């Protein structure tokens, strides 16, 4: 049985700005595009946190809900909420089966969460996940390094995803960018 997958998310902290971008494509297996306009990046916790997912759609929505609950429980402390959720995700028999990854960010932190218990904060303020994640990551790093002074975080996020969409068949140009 094929599963639905959502693809590319890119996040950046740059010049005191925070932005996260996601494409709109959802595929069924490796052959069929089922949706072009999915919204995979959201503001949560009263607009103070950005979260984006890649992976199985139903699994990602489950993780969104769990993470929001964790944020509420720890009064918006992003790092604590992420660590506690990652511990639960890794140790719970049902959650452990979920196939998705999350990127979360607030004004101070940018984190990657995975089902293996990983909570990773990047050294360079850039993260990307999903099928086109490596393309977006490479593009974003180049843009930040070579055009960073002329571009905002939002512009880099959008451009990185546009570049990934031109390379990755699982990434499209229906891009949503959210900022903090």
Residues forming the active site: 7
Beta strand spans in 57-159 (E) = 100-105, 110-113, 119-120, 126-129
Give the torsion sign (CA, 175, 55, 114, 75).
Answer: positive
Tokens 């494409």 belong to residue = 23
For 40, 51, 79, the CA distances from 61, given in Å and listed in that order, are: 9, 11, 20
For 3, 15, 81, 91, 97, the CA distances from 23, given in Å and listed in that order, are: 18, 24, 26, 31, 25
Q: How far apart are CA 121 and CA 132, in angstroms?
A: 20
For 10, 51, 123, 146, the CA distances from 109, given in Å and listed in that order, are: 15, 12, 11, 24
């Amino acid at each position: 049985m094929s599963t639905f997958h959502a693809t590319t998310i890119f996040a950046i902290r740059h010049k005191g700005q925070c932005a996260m971008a996601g494409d709109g494509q959802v595929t069924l297996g490796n052959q069929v595009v089922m949706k072009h306009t999915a919204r995979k990046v959201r503001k949560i916790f009263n607009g103070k946190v950005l979260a984006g997912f890649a992976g199985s759609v139903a699994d990602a929505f489950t993780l969104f809900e769990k993470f929001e609950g964790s944020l509420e429980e720890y009064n918006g402390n992003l790092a604590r909420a992420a660590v506690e959720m990652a511990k639960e995700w890794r140790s719970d028999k049902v959650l452990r089966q979920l196939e998705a990854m999350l990127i979360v960010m607030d004004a101070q932190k940018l984190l990657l969460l995975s089902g293996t218990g990983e909570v990773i904060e990047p050294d360079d303020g850039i993260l990307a996940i999903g099928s086109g994640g490596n393309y977006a990551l490479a593009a974003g790093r180049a843009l930040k390094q070579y055009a960073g002074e002329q571009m905002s975080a939002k512009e880099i996020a959008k451009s990185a995803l546009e570049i990934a969409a031109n390379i990755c068949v699982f990434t499209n140009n229906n891009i949503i960018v959210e900022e903090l």
